[in-house]
Amino acid sequence: MMMNKPNIVVLGAGYGGIMTTIKLEKILGDNDANVTLVNKHDYHYQTTWLHENAAGTLHHDRTRIPIKDVVNFNKINFVQDTVKSIEPSNKKVILEDGELTYDYLVIGLGFESATFGIEGLKEHAFSIYSINSARLIREHIEYNFARYTTEPGDRRDLLTIVVGGAGFTGIEFIAEIANRVPELCQEYDIDPEKVRVMNVEAGPAALAGFDEELVEYAMNRLEEKGVEFRLGTMIKQCNENGILVEKDGEQETIDSQNVIWAAGVTGNSIVEESGFEVSRGRVPVREDLRTPDHDNVFVVGDCAVLFNPETERPYPPTAQIAMQMADTAAHNLKQLVTNSSELETFKPNLQGTVASLGHTDAIGVVFDGKKLYGRSASIMKKVIDNRYLLKLGGIGLMLKKGKLDMFR
């Protein structure tokens, strides 16, 4: 009997992949299927905290969670390896160290930074997309602050931090770094007046489309902390000395050794390279989350795109949506392996957006449009994060990794 069990392979242990796996662990019967989870590392990480790790305001060990702590390895086969490609026609996944065959596949390989072909960004700018990329940014900035005090001349470019893009990632990161600068100055004997923290945004406003009052609140708070906003200014090039920007046809160079590109994301390029149909790097999945061409392949999280029929715009690539997609994908897999043909349609329950502005400040729109800012928004953000940990690993994980210092 065991030999006939179908193989379900889940690629990626981000929000989408790990929540699909955990749900399958709960809902599948012992004889329904074999489930294999593949991930590059033996840990899951909360991507939504990476900006704090990158700024150095939160240690990365708080953000990563050993997969063995949240997935039952007696029920799930875990393979730590890197996916190189997928061959849907052969039902095969090629890994760095071998290959796997599947009957059903779930792709949850997450996002990559999108550089839109802008010259020099890949070579000279940093992006926040993993634990290691966040750690590199933190150490790079610290190293440059240390260099400033030891190298000859007044190398202000070492103390200039430029963040490209004022979307949620750019704003959340710049808020953290603005909070970290006084500490770095103290640590490396630097006059805070010499440090420049700048945000360059191509559009006319920060956080395009978000509540204008809350955007104004965020910008005021950040400007009070010394952040310089350059709106309507496009990054055109990056090189070893800094960036070239353009505003109203005028070009300017900004010298910086710390350029952090946070101006857009795309689905993992492995998906397109494996021949799946994509739109801007994401698979336009059917309502049941299967790819347009394969009845046995589901895509969850940032590798998938689905349109909201009410707004006719795509749902944004968020952790919130990735987790909800995981529920639908796991349910539909259970249906398929138990030969029930009725598949569920993905219907997200959009619960609002809250963005942090450092440890004690935030902005958000929740519960049918209620606006929050300051301490109450910050508490809400921590409640959302703690609730995720509770769902992922129960009360023990929440107590170990959660943000429990809500009122400080």
Pick 145 or 172: Cβ nearer ligand NAD: 172
Name the nearest CA neighbour of 140 among 128, 227, 152: 128
Q: Which of residues 106-135 bind ligand FAD (CB under 6 A)?
A: 108-111, 128
Listed ranges 2-10, 65-73, 105-113, 214-222: which one lies at the site for ligand FAD (CB under 6 A): 105-113
The verdict on whether 172 is a catalytic residue reads yes
Listed ranges 115-123, 286-294, 315-323, 394-402: which one lies at the site for ligand FAD (CB under 6 A): 315-323
Q: Give the residue, chosen from 168, 210, 276, 346, that forms a contact with ligand NAD under the rule CB under 6 A.
A: 168
Report DSSP state, residue 69.
G
Beta bridge partner(s), residue 255: 242
- The CA distance from 374 to 214, in Å, is 10
- The CA distance from 161 to 257, in Å, is 7
Report if residue 319 touches ligand FAD, rule: CB under 6 A: yes
Q: Give the residue, chosen from 226, 232, 284, 316, that forms a contact with ligand NAD under the rule CB under 6 A.
A: 316
CA dihedral 236, 238, 242, 247 (to 10 degrees): 0
Classify residue 186 as exposed, middle or buried by CB count within 10 Å of its CB (0-12, 13-18, 19+).
Answer: exposed
Residue 212: CA atoms inside 13 Å, Cβ hemisphere, count?
2
Closest distance of CB 112 from ligand NAD, Å: 11
Beta bridge partner(s), residue 37: 10, 78
Closest distance of CB 142 from ligand NAD, Å: 23
- The CA distance from 203 to 170, in Å, is 13
Q: Give the residue, chosen from 169, 179, 258, 328, that forms a contact with ligand FAD under the rule CB under 6 A.
A: 169
Report if residue 40 touches ligand FAD, rule: CB under 6 A: yes
Separation of first and last alpha carbons in the chain: 56
- The CA distance from 129 to 113, in Å, is 7
Q: Which of residues 225-254 bind ligand NAD (CB under 6 A)?
A: 234-235
Q: Give the residue, chosen from 8, 9, 10, 14, that forms a contact with ligand FAD under the rule CB under 6 A.
A: 14
Q: Give the residue, chosen from 120, 170, 301, 402, that forms a contact with ligand FAD under the rule CB under 6 A.
A: 301
Name the nearest CA neighbour of 24 among 10, 45, 4: 10
Q: Give the residue, chosen from 317, 358, 393, 402, that forms a contact with ligand FAD under the rule CB under 6 A.
A: 317
Beta strand 83-87 with 92-95 is antiparallel
Report if residue 264 touches ligand NAD, rule: CB under 6 A: yes
Per partner kind, with CB cut-offs from 5 to 8 A, the member of ligand FAD, ligand NAD, none near residue 13 is: ligand FAD
Per partner kind, with CB cut-offs from 5 to 8 A, the member of ligand NAD, ligand FAD, none near residue 264 is: ligand NAD
Q: Print the binding letters for residues 205-224 with ligand NAD: x by CB under 6 A, - otherwise.
A: ---x----------------
Contact 402, 386 (CB under 8 A): yes
Closest distance of CB 93 from ligand NAD, Å: 26
Which segments within 53-186 are labelled E, that is strand? 64-66, 76-80, 83-87, 92-95, 98-101, 104-107, 111-113, 160-164
Report if residue 166 touches ligand NAD, rule: CB under 6 A: yes
| Catalytic entry in 52, 172, 176, 201 | 172
| Site residues for ligand FAD per CB under 6 A | 12-17, 38-41, 47-48, 50-51, 82-83, 108-111, 128, 169, 172, 268, 270, 301-302, 317-320, 322
Residues marked active site are found at 172
